Structure 1
Amino acid sequence: MNFFLQGLTMGIAYDAPIGLANLFVINSALTQSRRKSLLTAIIIIIFDVSLAFACFFGIGAIMKKFEWLQLIILLVGSLIVIYMGINLLRSQTTDISAEATTEMTLFKTISSAFVVIWFNPQAIIDGSMMLGAFQVTLPSYSHPIFIAGVGIASALWFILLSIIVSKFKDKFNAKVLRIINLVCGFIIILYGGKLFWNFITLLLA
């Protein structure tokens, strides 16, 4: 039980800081129907948990070993993230009712969630340092229990985030939602710019 609780608290610490995944879930909850926003949260959870597993078992070490892999992920990831941010800035919101919002296709939701989670090399390396370092301190028999706690923390975090934002989104009018979109868009573009700068730095190193 102790190992499970350690995984649960580590998972919350891993997911709670504001990042692309949280912004993606928040924006979906504000602009999509409750059903679609929950589906988006579940898709994010699947990719987030798969990344946590990969970090726990050492994918960060592989990325550090193969510099070309880092370069590819940094370049492609930065460009796609910037494109997502620009789309948010360009989006026009006149009505935030479930009937008026434009639902994202399932393919677009899955592909965008995949990019948000897996095309952020910094998140992969940071996650590997956090979870990988913890793995070294744990006995091997506790690994499944610990990583299960991390996975459940991810599920609880993103589902609760989606439900809470969806529940209170009616408090926002179209103007407020537009401002939120602009803020999220700018933050996402900054994330993309940081990734691209990391690509340039690594390329010139």
Structure 2
Amino acid sequence: MSYFSGFSSGFGLSAALIAAIGAQNMFVLRQGLRREHVAPVVLFCAAADLVLVAAGVAGSGTVLKAIPWLALVLTLGGAGFLLWYGVGALRRAVTPGTLVAETAGGTAPLGAILMRAAAFTFLNPHVYLDTMMLMGAVGGALPGGARPAFVAGAGTASAVWFTALGFGARILRPVFARPVAWRILDGLVAAIMLALACLLLARALGPLV
């Protein structure tokens, strides 16, 4: 597998997972709308994702070497999770909501804001299922030379997403006051996740067919 292939795989999977509307994304978007400590929040969230993906890939790669059949189990589990997540995004696309941001009030201390960012990141059980287990399983199953590229792609996707979300929030507020904007975003997330699930299933079941 080439460097570009590993990079694009990590970028695509990370982008699909991270774009789903959740507590962390809403927090980053709210900070962007408030124009409050945006750069530190973006840097923290992107760095946390990079570390979690790298840890997942490194750990899963070691386990997969010791237990070869585990790759199939993790791939099937990842495909099932992506299907579930994609269907959830599809449901949100059909019945979207409107994001309401709290922009009133003074500026909170940087330490308090970073503590909130850490809570939204590390107290969310999905971050371990998505970033460490799923990303780690997919990246760990790649050839050794492609794993750094996979991690780099995933980290780049996180950095691009959080930067766009945090610094682009000020111009997106009128757009995301409309439910149709969330419908389009969730529709794209659903399409990407369902497509990746099919690819994982094809990879896992291919040798058995």
Aligned residue number for residue 138 of structure 2:
122
TM-score between both structures, scaled by the size of structure 2? 0.59
How far residue 67 of structure 1 moved from its aligned partner, in angstroms, is 2.3
C-alpha RMSD of matched pairs (Å): 4.4
How far residue 78 of structure 1 moved from its aligned partner, in angstroms, is 1.1
- Residues 1:169 and 2:187 are matched in the alignment: no
How far residue 181 of structure 1 moved from its aligned partner, in angstroms, is 0.9
Matched to 1:69, the amino acid is L
Aligned residue number for residue 188 of structure 1:
193
In structure 2, the residue corresponding to 1:60 is in which secondary structure? Answer: helix
Aligned residue number for residue 26 of structure 1:
19
How far residue 79 of structure 1 moved from its aligned partner, in angstroms, is 0.8
Matches of 2:203 and 2:148 in 1, distance apart? 22
Aligned residue number for residue 88 of structure 1:
89
Matches of 1:189 and 1:150 in 2, distance apart? 20
**Alignment coverage as a number of residue pairs:** 173
How far residue 60 of structure 1 moved from its aligned partner, in angstroms, is 2.8
How far residue 62 of structure 1 moved from its aligned partner, in angstroms, is 4.4
Q: Tell me, yes or no, if the aligned pair for 2:45 and 2:162 is still in contact at 8 Å.
A: no
Aligned residue number for residue 48 of structure 2:
46
Q: Tell me, yes or no, if the aligned pair for 1:81 and 1:115 is still in contact at 8 Å.
A: no
Aligned residue number for residue 106 of structure 2:
none
TM-score between both structures, scaled by the size of structure 1? 0.59
Structure 1 unmatched ranges of 5 or more: 1-9, 100-104, 134-146
How far residue 50 of structure 1 moved from its aligned partner, in angstroms, is 3.4
Structure 2 unmatched ranges of 5 or more: 33-37, 103-118
Higher deviation after alignment, 162-171 or 75-84: 162-171
Q: What percentage of aligned pairs have identical amino acids?
A: 14
Alignment CA distance shift 1:73-1:23 (3 Å)? same
In structure 2, the residue corresponding to 1:28 is in which secondary structure? Answer: coil
Alignment CA distance shift 1:109-1:198 (3 Å)? farther
How far residue 191 of structure 1 moved from its aligned partner, in angstroms, is 1.1
Alignment CA distance shift 1:54-1:179 (3 Å)? closer
Alignment CA distance shift 1:40-1:160 (3 Å)? closer
